[in-house]
Amino acid sequence: MANVVAIVGRPNVGKSTLFNRLTESRAAIVDEISGVTRDRHYGKCEWNGRDFTVIDTGGYVKGSDDIFEAEIRKQVEIAVEEASMLIFVVDVTTGVTDLDKTVANLLRRTKKKIFLVANKVDNGERETWSAEFYSLGLGDLYNVSAVNGSGTGDLLDDVVKALPDDENILPDLLPKLAIVGRPNVGKSSLLNALVGEDRNIVTNIAGTTRDALHTEYNKFGYNFLLVDTAGVRKKTKVHEDLEFYSVMRSLKAIDDCNVMLLVLDAQDGIESQDMNLFRLAEKNHKGLVIIVNKWDLVEKDNHTVAAYEEKIREKISPFKDVPILFVSALTKQRIFKIVETANHVFNNTNKKIKTRDLNDFMLPIVESQPPPALNGHYIKIKYITMIPTKFPAFAFFCNQPQLVKDSYKRFLENKLREQYDFSGVPIELYFRQK
């Protein structure tokens, strides 16, 4: 289900401040770990047990003042086309401006759900100022202050209410692959190398999203679906080359897939945009394979692969347990490996371990190396079981779940990964009162 919510509006109304507030809960931690603080214009928002991807369109507006309007127009048009819902931000301290009206005109034409947000309502007095925004003709108005957080709860309540019903948690039967990456890394070339001239199409299956199409293929002995990211294959429209457009497409594809193939250009290595996509897939519990394409262009000796791989693993730490493939769409080197590895990762996403085996393996470990006591409180883990979710998740039942530190969680996760093959799969450890 591609739940991508786009924040639109003219510059300086507070889009990026609102974005930070909506995504703050986990993003802050992730950023600290990965060192990615720049260029983060999309992320995940969690509220009342639901989640969605949010994108700050303002992060992609470039250029000088006089091309602002044309730029914003383009951005909003793409957002309307690609997002499932839109948050339109206006500024209560300036009132309605011409540019607000331009954006409102673009938004009024869509049937998609729009949340009109009057920002910078930092206090009660300012609430009385916002009524003029009803003149934009977009219905309900949310008074918020992105800076102090007031009003954002009501907004989020309504955004998650408008999300489509949760998918059932039955596992997917076939791997659904999405080829994702920055422009020009070779996504379309890889697609062609993988499936050729469509000779092996089995069926077209309507995707979960209105416009997504999953095509089933049989190649190299595997059946799999490709999430059609459109932009990947046909580069007809003018806006195909816009980074914003490619990001919107990627976000939808990540939402729709169960294994994401993150394509890198071997000449560039892993960049901050790639890291953003990686973290998003991780947070969405998607299987991951990293594909270093254009390997034919790299001068190699015996140590090149190992050194290159090490560099990537350092960057993606602590979730290092991800397959990395070195391929060439041009020479078709190791293309079959992509399908084979993606299939392997897909199987890992569905892996179930019997409670008995799990306890036989983990209990001796937690006994010999228990969580460190905190202020004289001893944490005792009694019992471990997998919980029935769409991704591998483990519940550790213990007396003081709130005292278990992240470092100990990572220790347990590493033990699980050493024993059972979860390569390419984000796993979740929950600590619960027994």
Stretch that binds ligand GDP, among 8-16, 74-82, 271-279, 395-403 (CB under 6 A): 8-16
Question: Which pair of tokens denotes residue 184?
Answer: 């020009």
Q: 10 Å Cβ neighbour count for 306?
A: 9
Options 6, 13, 212, 251; binder of ligand GDP; rule CB under 6 A: 13
Among residue numbers 176 through 195, which ones bind ligand GDP (CB under 6 A)?
181, 183-189
Q: Which is nearer to ligand GDP, 58 or 287 (CB)?
A: 58
Closest distance to ligand GDP from the beta carbon of 92 (Å): 9
Closest distance to ligand GDP from the beta carbon of 352 (Å): 36
* 303 burial type by CB count under 10 A (0-12 exposed, 13-18 middle, 19+ buried): exposed
How far from the centroid of its chain's Cα atoms is residue 179's Cα? 13
Q: By rule CB under 6 A, what string of x and - marks binding of each residue 40-69 to ligand GDP?
A: ------------------x-----------
ω into 164 cis (within 30 of 0): no
Phi, psi of 330, rounded to the nearest 5 degrees: -70, -50
* 144 burial type by CB count under 10 A (0-12 exposed, 13-18 middle, 19+ buried): buried
Q: Which is nearer to ligand GDP, 329 or 404 (CB)?
A: 329
Among residue numbers 284 through 303, which ones bind ligand GDP (CB under 6 A)?
293-294, 296-297
d(Cα 322, Cα 228) in Å, to the nearest integer? Answer: 23
The answer to whether residue 99 forms part of the interface with ligand GDP (CB under 6 A) is no
Question: Which pair of tokens denotes residue 44?
Answer: 């995940």
* 89 burial type by CB count under 10 A (0-12 exposed, 13-18 middle, 19+ buried): buried
Q: Which is nearer to ligand GDP, 334 or 390 (CB)?
A: 334
Q: Which is nearer to ligand GDP, 9 or 175 (CB)?
A: 9
Q: By rule CB under 6 A, what string of x and - marks binding of each residue 311-330 to ligand GDP?
A: -----------------xxx
* Cβ atoms of residues 39 and 276 within 8 Å: yes
Give the H/E segment covering residue 203.
Answer: strand 201-206
The amino acid that residue 314 corresponds to is E
Among residue numbers 111 through 130, which ones bind ligand GDP (CB under 6 A)?
119-120, 122
Q: Note the residues at the interface with ligand GDP (CB under 6 A).
A: 9, 11-17, 58, 119-120, 122, 145-147, 181, 183-189, 232, 293-294, 296-297, 328-330
